[in-house]
A and B are shown apart, each in its own frame.
Chain A
């Protein structure tokens, strides 16, 4: 068999157009004036096979032969299971086309969250405190102002809070309650990783005739802290970034953007999951403390009615509705709270 190609002598930029002769397991190449290279086919070092790229052979004496035909197969060296044959195989390509999105989904929504849960266990207490205090500082500076509620009302909420803590056997070193006025958050409540829980004036105002509902909201927020949700969110963003840059390191900006939006969707999805967890926590504890699961349902219903009062029927979200954006729909949550049964 004759194969045309280019021959490069050792360590030199000269090149020769040659025809290689493959015969009886031997390779013969004549080049230049009276120069020849030959060796057994088995002794050749072949380059990795890649679709559309000719497989080059390096002789033990240092010469290199590059066939012109990218599809040329060296006799006795074809391996049907190489990566290159997978890359050429239409069925493999088609199944990769389906499997890849599925795997990306599994990675973003299953593996990364799971590793976040695992990572959380290794975050030291002091780090949690620093994180919480720093975020609280930023939030307080930008969005919160001192509460304008009468001291009596505030006192009532604090009493509720202390009773709840005592009943749950939680120390008030670890948990603090603050009440703030906030135009930005509207009727809202949130928890910081180090155990600080914030209720807004509007929320207390909306639930003031129903202290049990306020307690239910407090329990929901305690659930976030107990389950280390903020740390998990941070750990997950962290794990997501590392995993993505490791796997998609080669791609250009736009792909990162696509992956980034996947990450955002994952974040929202994940935080919805956390809301369910916190809801579940609140409902469990309500039952445990001998209160009704309806307390929580009523709190949610009140929030829902606030939404409908303030809002045009369009999809436009008023500012305080951000409470919901990373949350499951209120309707579902109410339904879930109402149908709660202790097991």
Chain B
């Protein structure tokens, strides 16, 4: 047991690869059994299904042999979902039947949204653990209101020309408020990268959309009914959206990762090829559509693998000296309030 006597060396300055060790066979079993139980219990079990799925993906994602962990309990997820479902029912009911109350509700939701977003991030960060240290999110209402409500409204007046800058502000807000234990994340993003990503995506759409439309009409010309054309047009439309989204996401992900470090702990790296990622995303959704959903586990595992293999971390000297701040503060008053809302109010 000689090797047991020293801590695992983090090997400073050598990038550690991120690895995803899940496989579609295991996940297919998890997925189909949990789906069946979710339906059979009219959705109640879906909270357990969510937790198991997240645990599967978190635990199978590892950096240098250390696995991520997902700590939320099904009851927390279920409570959040019931609240979200009730809010949704109330909202849809009002919009439908009492338009004025509905409008008032829509306005108040605009003001509540930043709080919900913060809450959701706080929850998801607190529930993520790596090397025994939990993440946390410290965004303020004011900060969230600015990037999620104020700036998007302002960008409307610039005919959305400022939208890439707004998206940059959102990502900066999110990243800079994350902490790993007692060590904060630091991210400095460049506006020009966001604009060039947007322009590249736009240029791709100028090529992709006519191509797809041309293809659809070439095939559609031989079909009689307009309803049959829809069967091709809708998947083609979705394939296009996924293609463009993937190209944009890959570029932005690389930029965010490569501009982010955790104080004294690590530097993040990503070299995801936009073309490769787009191919994976498009073939994934086509496979899911063609198999009526049954390829979903395979697609999800495939995506997790390509994302993991494109990521790496350079460990810095302080990696072994991070302390979990959350455990110590468990009894403080602020935390009491946090546990009261320790739910992710969302349906997804």
Contact = CB atoms under 8 A, between A and B. Distances in A.
Nearest to B73: A48
B32 A6 contact: no
Contacts of A315: 224-225
A164 interface: no
A321 B48 CA distance: 47
A277 interface: no
B302 to A, nearest CB: 13
A19 B5 CA distance: 10
A245 B347 contact: yes
Contacts of B36: 96, 99-100, 103
B139 interface: no
B32 A17 contact: no
Contact of A93 (B28, B43, B92, B225): B28
Interface in A51-106: 51-54, 56, 64, 66, 83, 86-89, 92-93, 96-97, 99-100, 103-104
A66 B52 contact: no
A11 B294 CA distance: 41
A127 B28 CA distance: 45
A96 B348 contact: no
A31 interface: yes
Q: Label chain B's interface by main secondary structure.
A: helix
A24 interface: no
B131 A250 contact: no
B258 interface: no
Interface residues of A, number: 65
A18 interface: yes
A92 B5 contact: no
B347 to A, nearest CB: 4
Contact of B7 (A30, A32, A88): A32
A93 B25 CA distance: 10
B59 A13 contact: no
Nearest to A53: B59
B293 interface: yes
A247 B30 contact: no
Contacts of A238: 92
A17 B8 contact: yes
Nearest to A63: B132
Contact of B43 (A127, A241, A243, A314): A243
B238 A253 contact: yes
A117 interface: no
B7 A14 contact: yes
Contact of B4 (A18, A111, A130, A251): A18
Contact of B32 (A53, A93, A243, A317): A93
A132 B199 CA distance: 46
B132 A12 contact: yes
Contacts of B43: 243, 246-247
Interface in B190-247: 224-225, 234, 238
Nearest to A130: B97
Nearest to A253: B238
Contacts of B337: none
Contact of B46 (A17, A83, A246): A246
A100 B292 contact: no
A250 B45 CA distance: 12
B89 interface: yes
A66 B62 CA distance: 13
Interface in B1-35: 1, 3-8, 21-23, 26-30, 32-35
A30 B1 contact: yes
A52 B67 contact: no
A254 interface: yes
A1 interface: no
A254 B39 CA distance: 19
B260 interface: no
B97 A127 contact: yes
Contact of B285 (A86, A247, A254, A316): A254
B159 interface: no
Contacts of B46: 246-250
Contacts of A17: 3-4, 8
A14 B4 contact: no
Given A100-B32, A250-B49, A254-B288, A19 B293 contact: no
A258 B289 contact: yes
Interface stretch (B120-128, B164-172, B269-277, B320-328): B320-328
A320 interface: no
B293 A255 contact: yes
A92 B33 CA distance: 8
A168 interface: no
Most interface-central of A10, A50, A56, A66 (chain B CB within 10 A): A50
Contact of A242 (B32, B33, B88, B327): B88
Given A17-B3, A19-B1, A246-B46, A12 B55 contact: no
Most interface-central of A93, A314, A315 (chain B CB within 10 A): A93
B327 A258 contact: no
B29 A250 contact: no
Nearest to B295: A254
Contacts of A328: none
10 contacts: A8-B132, A14-B321, A16-B7, A32-B6, A51-B26, A53-B60, A100-B39, A103-B36, A246-B85, A257-B238
Q: Which 4 A-B pairs have the closest CB atoms?
A: A246-B43, A8-B132, A52-B26, A13-B322
Interface of B: 1, 3-8, 21-23, 26-30, 32-40, 42-43, 46, 48-53, 55-56, 59-60, 65-67, 69, 81, 85, 88-89, 92, 96-97, 131-133, 181, 224-225, 234, 238, 265, 285, 288-289, 292-294, 296, 319-324, 327-328, 347-348
